[in-house]
A and B are shown apart, each in its own frame.
Chain A
Amino acid sequence: MTIETKTYSIDLHHVTRVEGHGNIRINTRDGVVEEVKLCIVEANRFFESFTRGMLPEEIPWVVGRICGICCVGHQLSATRAVEDAQGIVVSPQTVLLRKMLNESQFLQSHVLHVYFLAVPDFVGAPSVLPLIKTHPEVVKRALRLKKLANDYTAVMGGRTLHPMSNTLKGWRKLPSPDAIAQIRDRLLAAVPDLKETVSIIKTLKMPPYERETEFVSLKHPDEYALYEGEVFSSDSKTGVAVRDYRQVTNEFTVPHSTSKWSRWHREAYAVGALARINNNFDQLRPQAQEIAADLGLRVPCFNPYMNNVAQVVEIIHCAYNSLAMMETVLNNGLQEEDIRHTPVPGRGFGAVEVPRGILFHEYAFDASGRCCDANAIIPTSQNVNNIEQDMKAFVPQMLSRMSKEELTLHMEMLLRAYDPCISCSVHMLDVTFVE
């Protein structure tokens, strides 16, 4: 069979090393791509339905359960939305603590993704487990960095998964300055591990596929926006207020995906580390900008596989930014705040950046102060449309130069590069080649 007459039918069910359940279906006949579908098959959990009747304080605590890997992000975005609805303005101390809590999760999530979920593809291993024998130092370093990031979250939030210390108006129990000082010392001592992380990514060759697309992220005048800002588009070069997020996401539903899809100025847009770096490169910490240059990440970058590199650049940014925030906390000390609150009616909006991209939450409360309407738009549900567009663009290019197995691997790698969190977005991947 010559390349031109390739007829593939790939049906890849329950793609591995992604969070959640997805399938890829690719149909080619005689070298022509007939169908590319990214099917999200995760079961519905109906968070936007069953949050009705809950009290304001309970919402961030419960909706953190949308996702284990980004539980902090969901909690923070929901906290901001509920506070907006309840007319609560928090202190600079609380904002600072939340930024630290958020960046601890960036460190944890990006380290997990880069080492456990992405690196095995590039070294030809089916998982991180064989690397324990072949690359023991790499695995041990990954575990050290992950543990440090997890301990950072636990110090800030009370525990690693579904932390309970942050709530409306501030902290139920403030973190201990001694514990923060210990994390600072460990983070300083981890600089060699971070450098090695950069070195390993440098050795990985990213597939050279590009597709120009729209990048959407938060943007803030004073800092690399992870916790607050306007919703910025690389197409329009302007921002809209978080409360107008429905203008951005324009959600729609397709039958082959239990996750809803999004589009803004064109057929699809991308969110996540690469989108943030493309939109806000100049605000990265200088150390992170240097690493980006060292790793060949120049903006604008339209290669989705480079999201793996963008995550490493953000690991460096969050590490140095966290060190600075820890110094501020240790210099200023922490004051107890009154967090008592009586629920009132109202509607509010929140957005934060989480490792996989911008995350929107919206809640309304009725006259009794109980939730009567809820909406959450998750990064992966914004990315799935863009991923399918990438697949439609890349499969015809790849078809002429790859075997079915290579093509399947490249599709899986593409999906994993976006670090999809599919359990969130239903609220990913089997490749099926249909022959």
Chain B
Amino acid sequence: MKPKVAFFDFASCEGCQLAVLNCEDVFLNILELVDIVEFREAMSETAPRFDVAFIEGSIHREQDVQRLQDIRARSTVLVAMGACACMGNVQARSNFIAPAQNFQWVYGEAERNSLQTDPEFWPLWAHTRVRAVKEIVAVDFELRGCPMVPEEFVHLVKSLVIGSTPHFPANAVCVECKMDENECVFDHGETCMGPITYGGCKAVCVTGGYRCDGCRGLLPHAHREAHRWLLKEKGLSDAHIDNRYRLFCSTQFQGREKP
């Protein structure tokens, strides 16, 4: 019997689900290997149990926590899909601002006060803080990146179907950047997160003319102190460096490194 696969979205841009639909060349082949039983962005059906559940998005409210726990209980394998699910992504920057301040800046003060106490709808507004999926439930595999890399998604699905363990090498982005023969971002006066960021993206942003902002999260054992020293040597202030670290992976930079 084909594995039953489901997709669920929480707070996100839903671009990673779109990235699944964007695997046009192999989409029909994937459907020969698995049964997609729930995919709210693309279909109406729902199902009771899943062999593999893909979770997109970060977790913000009590009602989202309960929904996630329910999905975990009904799934054999659970995959965090994309940077929001893996580490909270850009919206986790809001964790450095008080929730009441976040609401005031987005909705205004009077609205904030009335909405969060609305007798019927207040749970919609009960934002606590932005959390990664693994802060709530056990995660079996992570598909990193904003957006996730379609090739890694296909590799994961193929591995699970044949019963092997998918492998995502823990290289720095710099390794793939060199293989792409890019000029080093540091060499033309810019700064880059590549040296401490988990690779697998083929350094697509540097290849496209930009820098790495670390959307795939930190490498295990990344030498953060050395990286901060490198950025300071390039003239960036500590505040500037903090802002850069908190663009995409703020949940991994809660405090400053030891000097």
Q: Do A and B bind each other?
A: yes
Q: Does B168 contact A (CB under 8 A)?
A: no
Is the Cβ of A65 less than 8 Å from the Cβ of B101? no
* A171, closest chain B residue (CB): B209
Give the contacting residue for B42; candidates A17, A21, A67; CB below 8 A. A17
Partner of B10, one of A43, A62, A69: A43
Which of A117, A161, A172 has a CB less than 8 Å from the CB of B22? A161
Pair A68/B102 contact, Cβ less than 8 Å? no
CA distance A120 to B19 in the complex (A): 21
Q: Which of B120-128, B151-159, B224-232 faces chain A? A: B120-128
A417 to B94, CA, bound (A): 33
A65 touching B89 by the CB < 8 A rule?
A: yes
| Minimal Cβ-Cβ distance residue in B for A40 | B124
- Once the chains bind, are B209 and A158 in contact (CB under 8 Å)? yes
Residue A164, interface by CB 8 Å: yes
Q: Which residues of A contact B195 (CB under 8 A)?
A: none
Known: A150-B24, A255-B121. A67 touches B13 (CB 8 A): yes
Is B28 within 8 A of A132, CB to CB?
Answer: yes
- Judge if B241 is at the interface, Cβ distance under 8 Å: no
- Whose C-beta in chain A lies nearest to the C-beta of B16? A68
Mark out the residues of chain A between 140 and 195 whose CB falls within 8 Å of any chain B CB in the assembled complex.
Answer: 140, 143-144, 146-147, 150, 157-165, 167, 171-173
What 0/1 pattern do residues 109 to 134 of B give for CB contact below 8 A with A?
00100110010110011010010000
Task: Known contacts A127-B42, A173-B209; decide if A43 and B21 are in contact (CB<8 Å).
Answer: no
From B33-41, B72-80, B135-143, the one touching the partner chain is B33-41
Asked if B147 CB lies within 8 Å of chain A CBs, one says yes
Asked if A423 and B13 sit within 8 Å, CB to CB, the answer is yes
Q: Quick one: which of A48, A120, A424 contacts B106, CB cutoff 8 A?
A: A48
Choose one: B14, B101, B103; the contact of A19 (CB below 8 Å). B14
Which of the four size classes fits the interface of chain B?
A: 35 or more
**Closest residue to B108 on the A side, CB-wise?**
A253
- Tally A residues with Cβ within 8 Å of B: 69
What's the Cα separation between A87 and B213 when bound, in Å? 26
A324 contacts chain B at the CB level, 8 A cutoff: no
Judged by a CB distance under 8 angstroms, whether B31 is at the interface is: yes
Which of the residues A16, A48, A146, A150 comes within 8 Å of B40, measured between beta carbons? A16
Closest to A172 in B: B209
Q: Is the CB of A67 within 8 A of B14?
A: yes
Residues of B within 8 A of A39 (CB): 121, 124
| Residue among B17, B93, B118 with most chain A CB within 10 A | B93
B residues near A (Cβ < 8 Å) are 9-19, 21-22, 24-25, 27-28, 31, 36, 39-45, 57, 60-61, 64, 89-91, 93-94, 96-97, 101-103, 105-108, 111, 114-115, 118, 120-121, 124-125, 127, 130, 146-147, 204-205, 207-210, 213, 243, 247
List 16 additional contacts besides A46-B97, A62-B90, A116-B42; criterion CB under 8 Å.
Answer: A42-B11, A43-B61, A43-B64, A44-B60, A45-B91, A47-B90, A67-B13, A143-B27, A150-B22, A161-B15, A161-B19, A163-B208, A171-B209, A172-B209, A423-B12, A424-B13
